[in-house]
A and B are shown apart, each in its own frame.
Chain A
C-alpha cells in the first residue's frame, strides 16, 4: 500500500485537476453556480425538518441543527458511493488510453466530497449560532473524525467502483442499500431513540459511531467516545487495506472490461 500511495502522490497533479474539474463542471454554465452545492443540503434539510419535526413530530430541542449535522456528514458518504460507483466506467476514455494509478478516480470523488463538506460547514456554523449552541474544545477533534469518515468512505468507494466494472447493476443496487443504511444511522433520530431489542443491528454500523461523534462535537459540545472511535478507526484501516488490495487486483482488467 505504501508503494501505491507514493505513486498516487506522484500523480497528485492529476488528482487535483480531476477534483477541480469535477467541482468546476458542476458550476460552470449554471445560473446559481457554486451555490448549488450549498443549496442541495439546505433543501434536504428543509424537507427532512418539515417531515420529522411537523409530521412525525420528533420532540427535540434544536432538532434542525441536529438534523443538519447528520445530513452533511451522511451526504459525504452517500454521494461518494453513488457517484463513485460509476466513476471507472465513466472515465473509460482515460482508463483505456492512459496509464495512471486508477485509485485516483475514486479518490478524486472522496476529495470532492470532503471539499463540499467543508463548504457546508460554512452554513452549519450560522445555523448553530442561531440555535445558540455552544461550541468548544471538542472542535479540535473534527480532523480526526473526518479522517476516519474519509477512510471508511474511501474503502467503500474503492470496493464498489471496482466491482461495478464487472457487475454494472451494482450502481442501482447501491441506491437501495444506501436508503436502508440511512435509516440505520442516527441522522433523523438520536441513538437514544433506538429500541434496545434491535440496537445490535445499529451497533454493527461504523457510520453510527462516526456520525454520533459529529453530533457530540457540534451539538452537545462533548468529546466523542474515544474507545468506540478507536475501534472504528482500526476497522476502517483494515477495511481500507483490503479494499486497496481488491481494487488493485480488479484494476488489472479494467481496460479490457470497459
Chain B
C-alpha cells in the first residue's frame, strides 16, 4: 500500500531583492516587489510504501528539507499532488514550542499537544517520555535551566514517543551523547518493526545505511537515484569526491588566472588566450625569469596537469589512486635529446621523490621544431599519505642546462581513508611472530 504518493511536484521560492511588506508602501508607492524564483523541487515523483524506511541524501540546498516540509504540510506545492495516508508526525525541529519558563513536565504536555496528541495519550506516555529522556531529577525544573543537551533530549523524547503512522525526521538524530544516540536509534528501529513508515534526512550516512530500506538521492531539485542504501551511498560519496575535485580545479583555475595576469607567463586558461600570449612571446622574444620559473625556453612546458587514468582532470586524489601527470610542451628551437623531469615535494618543501627521463632511461620520440607534444608521468598507485603536495616540472639538456624549469608551481591533494603518518606509504603488512620463551 502506498502511504506517501508524490506526483510531479514542483516548488519554487521567491527570493526577494528588496522587500516591502507594508501596506503603506504598496498603496502609496505602488511598489512591486522584485524577486527571483528559486526552484527547490523540480517535477519530483516518489511513492513510499507502508512500513518502508526511506532516507533522503543530497548536498545542502538540494531540496531534501523542502520535500519533507511539503510532506508535512507546512509548505504547499506550486504544481503536482501529494497524498499522505495516515497520521503524520514530523520532527523538523526539536523543541519547537518549548516555553523556557515552564517545567520539563509542563513542556512535555505542551509539546506533545502541539504534535497532535490528546491529553489521555500524553498521560499514558508521560512516564515513558520522562524515562526515555533520563531527566527524572530535573523534570520539575524550568526548561530554561537545562543544558542544551538536556533540552534536546527532552524534545527528542517527546517527539519520538508520538507514535504516528508516518514519521518524518529532518537531521535531528545527532542529539545528545553516544549512548543517547544509540537509544534513539533503537527506538526508531522499534517504530520501524511496528510498521511505521519513516522518511528521514540525514548526513549521517552510517545511520542511514543501518536504518533504511531504501535511499533516495536528491541533487539540484531532482531525484537522481533511488535504490538500495549501500549502492546509493557509494554513488553519492563518489559524486561528492568528484564535486570536491571540481571545486579544487575551479579554485586552481581562478588562482592561475591571477598568475597569468601577474607575470604574463604562459599558462593554460583558455586556448585563445594561450595563442595570444604565445604569439606575443615569439614576436617580442622576451626572456622570462621569475622567482619560480626560469630557463631559455628552447623547449617550453606550457602546462602541467594531473589526471586519472582516463585523462580526466583531477586535483584531489585518494591515496592509492592512479595518478597521471601530463606535461604539455612546445618546441621553439630544435634541440638534441631533451630530458623531462619531475619532482614531488610536501607542502613544507621536503622532497618526496624526483626523477627524469634520463634516469629512467626513457627515450622520447622524434622532436621537431615548432611542434607541440605531451608527455605523461604515470603513477599506478599513489602511495602518499594525506597532504598537499607541490610539483616541480622541468625540461633540460643532458648537461643540466635548463630549457624551462617550474619550481614547485603545481600542486595536488591526497586524502586517505586511514590516518597513517609520514610521507610515503610503504607497502607493508603485520604478522604475529612467535614469542621467544625465556629471556
User: Which residues of chain A have a CB within 8 Å of any CB of chain B?
Assistant: 10-14, 16-17, 21, 24-25, 28-29, 93-100, 166-170, 173, 252-253, 255-257
Contacts and interface: CB of A to CB of B under 8 A. Distances in A.
Contacts of A11: 116
B90 A99 contact: yes
A170 B13 contact: no
A95 B69 CA distance: 11
B113 A168 contact: no
A257 B16 CA distance: 11
A94 B75 contact: no
Nearest to A104: B114
B101 A100 contact: no
B426 interface: no
Given A98-B74, A98-B90, A99-B74, A173 B23 contact: yes
A166 B97 contact: no
Nearest 8 CB-CB pairs, A to B? A169-B22, A13-B113, A167-B23, A97-B93, A97-B96, A99-B73, A17-B113, A14-B113
A255 B23 CA distance: 20
A255 B113 CA distance: 20
Given A28-B101, A94-B97, A13 B119 contact: yes
B295 to A, nearest CB: 61
Contacts of B250: none
Given A94-B96, A167-B22, A100 B69 contact: no
B23 A25 contact: no
Q: What is the interface residue range for chain B against chain A?
A: 20 to 34
Contacts, number: 76
B117 interface: yes
Contacts of B21: 166-168, 257
A248 to B, nearest CB: 11
Contact of B110 (A21, A28, A168, A169): A21
Contacts of B24: 169
A17 B114 contact: yes
B118 interface: yes
B72 interface: yes
A117 B276 CA distance: 85
Contact of A29 (B73, B75, B101, B113): B101
B96 A252 contact: no
B423 interface: no
A17 B109 contact: yes
Contacts of B73: 99
A167 B26 contact: yes
A249 B97 CA distance: 24
A255 B69 contact: yes
A17 B90 CA distance: 19
Given A94-B96, A97-B92, 18 more contacts: A13-B113, A13-B116, A13-B118, A17-B109, A17-B110, A28-B101, A93-B93, A97-B74, A98-B97, A98-B114, A98-B115, A99-B74, A99-B88, A100-B114, A100-B116, A173-B23, A256-B14, A256-B75
A257 B102 CA distance: 29
A248 B117 CA distance: 23
Nearest to A100: B114
B26 A16 contact: no
B99 interface: yes
B76 interface: yes
Contacts of B22: 167-169
16 contacts: A12-B118, A14-B113, A17-B109, A21-B102, A28-B101, A29-B101, A93-B93, A93-B96, A93-B97, A94-B114, A96-B74, A97-B93, A98-B90, A100-B114, A169-B22, A255-B74
Contacts of A168: 21-22
A238 to B, nearest CB: 25
B255 to A, nearest CB: 39
Contacts of B114: 14, 17, 94, 98, 100
A10 B121 CA distance: 13
A13 B117 contact: yes
A17 B119 CA distance: 10
- Which of A11, A17, A167, A170 counts the most chain B CB atoms within 10 A? A17
Contact of A10 (B14, B101, B116, B122): B116
A99 B96 contact: no
A170 B102 CA distance: 32
Interface in B21-62: 21-24, 26
A81 B14 CA distance: 30
Nearest to B73: A99
Contacts of B122: 13
Interface string B81-93: 0000000101011
Given A97-B92, A100-B114, A25 B72 contact: no
A100 B74 CA distance: 8
Contacts of B13: 256
Contacts of A256: 13-14, 75
Given A16-B113, A17-B114, A255 B101 contact: no
A98 B23 contact: no
A103 to B, nearest CB: 14
A171 B109 CA distance: 31
Contacts of A253: 76
- Which of B22, B114, B118 counts the most chain A CB atoms within 10 A? B114
A257 B21 CA distance: 10
Contact of B116 (A14, A29, A94, A170): A14
Contacts of B97: 93-94, 98
A100 B116 CA distance: 8
Nearest to A252: B76
- Which of A97, A100, A256 counts the most chain B CB atoms within 10 A? A97
Nearest to A10: B116
Given A94-B96, A99-B73, A256-B13, A170 B23 contact: yes
Nearest to B27: A167
Nearest to A11: B116
Nearest to A167: B23
A255 B40 CA distance: 15
Contacts of A94: 96-97, 114
